[in-house]
Amino acid sequence: MNRMIGSAWVMLLAVCASTPGYAATSGPAVRRDVFGTTPEGRDVDVFTLVNAHGLQAKVINYGAMLISLRVPDRQGNFDDVVLGFDTLGEYLNRSFGGTTGRYANRIGGARFTLDGVEYNVTANAGQHHIHGGRRNFSNVVWDASAFAEAGRRGVRLSTFSADGEEGFPGNCCCIVTYTLGDDNALRIDYHATSDKPTVINLTNHSYFNLAGAGSGPVYDHVMHIFASRYTVVDGALIPTGEIAAVAGTPLDFTEPTPIGARIGELTQTRGYDHNYVFDESSEVCPLRVRVLEPASGRVMEVHTTEPGMQLYTANHVRDLKGRDGKTYGQHGAFCVETQHFPDSPNHPNFPSTVLRPGKPFESTTVFRFSVRE
Q: What is the pLDDT of residue 27?
A: 40
Q: Exactly one of 131, 191, 205, 303 is catalytic; which is it? A: 205
Q: What is the pLDDT of residue 12?
A: 43
Residues forming a β-bridge with 179: 154, 187
CA distances from 255 to 56, 183, 213, 224 (A): 31, 26, 26, 6
**Per-residue pLDDT tens over the stretch 247-280:** 999 999 999 999 999 999 999 999 999 999 999 9
Is residue 178 included in any domain, yes or no? yes
Candidates 7, 138, 161; CA nearest to 66 is: 138
Is residue 305 included in any domain, yes or no? yes
CA distances from 239 to 108, 115, 117, 166, 187 (A): 8, 22, 22, 22, 29
Q: Which residues neighbour 250 within 8 Å (Cβ) at sequence distance 6 or greater?
A: 262, 263, 265, 266
- Antiparallel, parallel or unpaired: β 43-50 and 56-60: antiparallel
Q: Residue 193: which domain range?
A: 6-371
Distance CA 221, CA 331 (A): 11
| Phi, psi for 109 (deg, rounded to 5) | 70, 5
pLDDT more than 70, % of the chain: 92
Residue 347 annotated among the catalytic residues of the structure = no
**Per-residue pLDDT tens over the stretch 67-86:** 999 999 999 999 999 999 99
Is residue 241 included in any domain, yes or no? yes
| Phi, psi for 133 (deg, rounded to 5) | 95, -165
Q: Mean of the pLDDT values across residues 78-95?
A: 95
Instruction: Tell the burial category of 58 from Cβ atoms under 10 Å away from its Cβ (0-12, 13-18, 19+).
Output: buried
Residue 193 in 3-state DSSP? strand
3-7, 55-59, 212-216: segment of lowest average pLDDT: 3-7
Is residue 291 included in any domain, yes or no? yes
Taken in order 211, 215, 218, 220, the sign of the CA dihedral is negative
Tally of structural domains, the chain: 1
Q: In this model, does residue 360 exceed pLDDT 70?
A: yes
Is residue 76 included in any domain, yes or no? yes
Q: Is 316 left (phi over 0), alpha (psi -120 to 50) or beta?
A: alpha
> Does pTM top 0.85 for this prediction?
yes
**Per-residue pLDDT tens over the stretch 166-219:** 999 999 999 999 999 999 999 999 999 999 999 999 999 999 999 999 999 999
Residue 328 in 3-state DSSP? strand
Give the strand order in the sheet containing 185-194.
Answer: 143-149, 152-161, 172-181, 185-194, 361-371, 298-304, 287-292, 222-225, 257-258
Q: What is the pLDDT of residue 220?
A: 98
Q: What is the pLDDT of residue 95?
A: 84
Q: Exactly one of 165, 166, 306, 337 is catalytic; which is it? A: 337
Distance CA 348, CA 362 (A): 21
Is residue 11 included in any domain, yes or no? yes
Residue 90 annotated among the catalytic residues of the structure = no
Q: Which residues neighbour 19 within 8 Å (Cβ) at sequence distance 6 or greater?
A: 175, 191
CATH number, position 284: 2.70.98.10
Is residue 1 included in any domain, yes or no? no
